[in-house]
A and B are shown apart, each in its own frame.
Chain A
Amino acid sequence: MKSLLGIAALAIGVGLLPLFVESGVWINFVMMTLYAALLAQAWNILGGFGGQFSFGHALFFGFGAYVQAIAQLQWGFNPWVALAMAGLVSATVGLGVGALTFRYGLKGSYFALVTLAFAEVFRIIAVSVPFTGAGVGLMIPLKESVGNLQFESRVGFLYVILGLLIAAMLVTWWLQNSKFGAYLQAVRDNENAAQAIGVNPFLIKLGAIALSAAFMGWAGAFYLQVFQYIDPSIAFGPHTSVEALVAAIVGGLGSLWGPLLGALALHLLSDLTRNLFGSLPGINMVIYGSMLIVIVMFLPRGIAGIGQSVTRLWRGKRD
């Protein structure tokens, strides 16, 4: 209802943006923000709604990016087909990791550590194996056309990422309004109580990790198309894992708009810092890390949580 209208408004709003905004810088900013929002939205599915904090979500991102590259370079697939494959492969990897970790009841810190370890393992493999271009990475040749998923101006990519993000948000909306989503949040809040009323925690968590991984995979494929390049540390390194989880937490876990708000806040903040202090190495991450600490300390429900508290106060005053 209201949320769906909001999503539609977002789609239309951003969709119409290029008609009014000429500046490539701004279009790029919006595109990168939506990209970060997709990362966060994907993480949110498993972390916010499922309550399983992954510290190595780049694992799925990397698989998506490499599949996208290899499918085109080695097997001659069309990039759009490759995109579909990227999501599928990532989801499968997600199922594999999930089956292993959830079967053995890994939770909390242990789960975070294992996902980190998996990401590291694959980073090392990617660095060592010629199939993935080893340390040099892989590059796709420039050929701008819609059919080839490459665009001259950022506007084309803007629409692609918008599409992916809207899809992710619709899935998130579905999590808030479906039996699966209700079961997932129940498992997050209290696994024992959920079991007592008929929820199978293992299957539910598997579903969540597959969905989450699929979207991360698509984000990875998108990254490759935009930058035409991928290497092991971008693919499986901590930067992407951190960006996904910090934006999701800052924005507000388990909410529909949280990831977008978080991505926006972080990007605005980094831009501001860049303007004030110049392009200092590492300053971005210092901001991300500090925001994480500050939010956890003072605003555990993130930015979206402020909105929820305000709405509750408002409703409370009217009753």
Chain B
Amino acid sequence: MFDFSILLASVLNGLTSGAVYALVALGLTLIYGVLHIINFAHGAALMVAMYGVYELYNKLGIDPYIALPFMVVGMFLFGYALQRVIINRASHGKDENILLVTLGLAIVLENLALLFFKSDTRTIDTAYSLTTIAIGPAFIALPKLIAFAGALAASAILVLLVSGTDLGRAIRAVSKEKQGAKLMGIHVEHIYAMSFGIGLACLGAAACFLLPTYYVNPQVGSGFVLIAFTIVVLGGMGSFAGALIGGLLIGVVESLGGLYLGESLGPIGVFIIFIVVLLFRPQGLFGARA
């Protein structure tokens, strides 16, 4: 039905968005895998990060890619503090409570943004925002390619961290065997907070990759939340490989969905996948049976 170049462009665009989705989902996977909580505030935190990148560019003229290290560190500290000070204390150890607290955080963050930034949609215009690169018959925006490469690089760094360092081993140990970890002298609450912080740090990076081609408004987070959840569930709760592949897959599904079903109906493909996976294969493509 569609011209090959349009199809190719759609798939390629889907892959580039998918890579960024994957990075967002990786953070969520880490948080779910270790703390076993569904972080409803993930989307709102991404939105906060995006506003951060926006303000850094607008007020201080710092290019998003230069801002990357600051955003990563900043979001890490934000996440660590959130977990240690609010989420940990509010939950009293009960799962339903954590659900509610992260939901509350999401609501508060989203509406504080509304308060301070109003509901206007904002974008930034960098020097290279409009540059395109030709791949075969299709044209892809340069920032999207950078986003693709950057997101994959960040994911690789995250995976290396988790698999190759003592901290990473401790995080993985805590996720499956808390008591055993304590007997090694591993401070479990600290590990929880570290994981949450790293999860949010991923968002800091993702925000830097998103802003040159995307927009920010207070509601942008909720759009990402369900997509991120779908990826995490599709990939298999707690599987990094799953989140990566799932992210790319969902990115393409969303892109093609928009192409074939139109602007408004497009996103439905993602949610249908979500419901179907949750109902019929809750362990996802790569996860182990719970």
Contacts and interface: CB of A to CB of B under 8 A. Distances in A.
B111 A124 contact: no
A281 B278 contact: no
Interface string A50-66: 01010100000000000
Main secondary structure of the interface of B (DSSP, over half): helix
B280 interface: yes
B107 A297 contact: no
A281 B119 contact: yes
B108 A109 contact: no
A104 B271 contact: no
Interface stretch (A18-26, A155-163, A169-177, A286-294): A286-294
Most buried by A among B106, B107, B110, B282: B107
Nearest to A118: B275
A250 B92 CA distance: 17
B108 A289 contact: yes
A285 B119 CA distance: 14
B114 A289 contact: no
Output the residue of A110, A245, A288 with the most chain B CB within 10 A: A110
Contacts of B38: 109, 112-113
Given A109-B99, A118-B275, A293 B108 contact: yes
A100 interface: yes
A58 B108 CA distance: 20
B259 interface: no
A288 B272 contact: no
Contacts of A121: 268, 271-272, 275
Given A113-B278, A283-B111, A292 B96 contact: no
A296 B101 contact: yes
A135 B264 CA distance: 9
B277 to A, nearest CB: 10
A101 interface: yes
A281 B271 contact: no
Interface in A138-197: none
Tell me the interface secondary structure of chain A in the complex: helix
Contacts, number: 125
B208 interface: no
Contacts of B107: 242, 285-286, 288-289, 292
A205 B99 CA distance: 21
Contact of A120 (B37, B86, B115, B271): B271
A252 to B, nearest CB: 14
Contacts of B101: 292-293, 296-297
B100 A296 contact: yes
Give chain A's interface residue range (CB within 8 Å of chain B): 35 or more
Contact of B105 (A104, A112, A249, A293): A293
A249 B100 contact: yes
Contacts of B97: 296, 300
Interface string B251-278: 0000000000010110110011011001
B104 A117 contact: no
A110 B233 CA distance: 9
Q: How large is the interface on B (under 10, 10 to 19, 20 to 34, 35 or more residues)?
A: 35 or more
Contacts of A117: 226, 271, 274-275, 278
Contacts of B222: 238
B278 A293 contact: no
B169 interface: no
B127 interface: no
A280 interface: yes
A198 interface: no
B40 to A, nearest CB: 8
A108 B106 contact: no
A51 B94 CA distance: 13
A51 to B, nearest CB: 8
B89 interface: yes
B21 to A, nearest CB: 16
Contact of A124 (B92, B106, B267): B267
A234 interface: no
A11 interface: no
B264 A106 contact: no
A125 interface: yes
A292 B226 contact: no
A120 B100 CA distance: 19
B209 interface: no
B190 interface: no
A128 interface: yes
B152 interface: no
A110 B282 contact: yes
A242 B222 CA distance: 13
A282 interface: yes
Interface in A266-300: 280-286, 288-293, 296-297, 300
5 contacts: A101-B279, A246-B104, A285-B111, A288-B107, A296-B104
Given A124-B271, A285-B114, A293-B108, 6 more contacts: A114-B274, A114-B279, A117-B275, A289-B111, A290-B108, A297-B101
User: 10 nearest interchain CB pairs?
Assistant: A289-B107, A282-B114, A282-B111, A292-B104, A289-B108, A297-B90, A285-B111, A293-B104, A109-B38, A286-B111
